[in-house]
Structures are given as C-alpha cells and as structure tokens.
C-alpha cells in the first residue's frame, strides 16, 4: 500500500513539475484592424509576414478582430499544445469557447489569436469577461489567466430569520 501511495505521489509531483515550465509573460487583449498585420514585404510576396509569431484566427481569411496577444516562455519545446479561450462578448451572456492548436518552441514566443470577421461585433466592442487556459496535448493545464470579471465573488448569503 505504501509503494502505491509513493508511486502516486511521484507521478503527481512530476506532472506538476512539467506543468510549471510554461509561464505567461504578458497578455494584451485588444481590437486590431487588418492594417495592423500588413507589412511592406507582403506587397512584394503576397504572403502575410508573421515576424516569427504564431497568428491564429477564428476566420482565417479575415484579419479584423479582437485579439489576445500572448507572450509565453517555455522551458521545454512542445509539438502540440492548446489555447482554450472563453469569452463573454457584449452581445451574448453565454460564454463562447474557442480552442487553437499550437506548437510551443523552447524559450520565449509570441502568439496572437482572436475572434475575427463576423465572429466579433466590431471595433468598439469589448469583452465582458474572458479566461485563457494553456493546455498540453493531454489536456493538463500549463498556465491560465483571466479577466477580473471572469470570477465574480459569491453573492452575500441571505440573513436567516431568527
């Protein structure tokens, strides 16, 4: 029985160590127009220049939208990871969840992902609340970040009649 408990403790400890090797350095949510992604080289090559960043869109053919610019630092490279983004937009109280498959190189990396085209109500619209989770290929959480309003405090308990 003690051996089983020891193996379980070692397994859980190693999972926590692996999950702790990814850090969210900076996260900036903002609306960006298509012009923010146009570089001079695109006029010559016809290809979007990402400048080494990963850019992910809900509608790949549309660049206008509300983006989350994320800088992560990873101690180890991961061929497959997931960004899970939950957003409550100003047009619906229901949270919308999007998942983006990414690969994380070792070191620092910039990722821009967002709701583009008709998936976002417009340039003046801001999310009511959001939550981002960075997951490994098995679904284990590597890092998380959320807006202040994502987790509101519980409502005060009603006073009991005496």
Question: What are the residue ranges spanned by the domains of the chain?
Answer: 23-150
- Give pairs for 143-146: CB < 8 Å, separation 24+: 143/22, 143/23, 143/24, 143/72, 144/24, 145/24, 145/27
pLDDT in tens, 80-129: 999 999 999 999 999 999 999 999 999 999 999 999 999 999 999 999 99
Q: What is the pLDDT of residue 41?
A: 66
> Is 48's pLDDT higher than 80?
no
CATH of domain 23-150: 2.60.40
Q: What is the pLDDT of residue 134?
A: 96
Place 33 in a pLDDT band, splitting at 50, 70 and 90: confident
pTM: 0.74
The gap between the terminal CA atoms of the chain, to the nearest Å, is: 51
Residue of 84, 102, 87 lying closest to 139 (CA atoms): 84
Q: What is the pLDDT of residue 10?
A: 35
């Amino acid at each position: 029985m003690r051996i089983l408990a020891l193996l379980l403790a070692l397994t859980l400890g190693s999972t926590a160590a692996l999950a702790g090797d990814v850090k969210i350095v900076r996260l900036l949510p903002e609306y960006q127009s298509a012009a923010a992604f146009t570089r001079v080289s695109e006029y010559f090559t016809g290809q979007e220049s990402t400048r080494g960043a990963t850019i992910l869109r809900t509608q790949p053919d549309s660049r206008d939208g509300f983006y989350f610019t994320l800088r992560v630092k990873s101690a180890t490279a991961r061929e497959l990871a997931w960004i899970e983004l939950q957003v409550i937009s100003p047009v619906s109280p229901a949270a919308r969840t999007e998942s983006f498959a990414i690969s994380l190189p070792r070191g620092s990396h910039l990722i821009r992902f967002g709701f583009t085209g008709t998936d976002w109500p417009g340039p003046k619209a801001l999310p009511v609340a959001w939550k981002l989770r960075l997951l490994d290929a098995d679904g284990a959480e590597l890092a998380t970040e959320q807006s202040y309003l994502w987790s509101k405090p519980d409502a005060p308990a009603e006073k009991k009649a005496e």
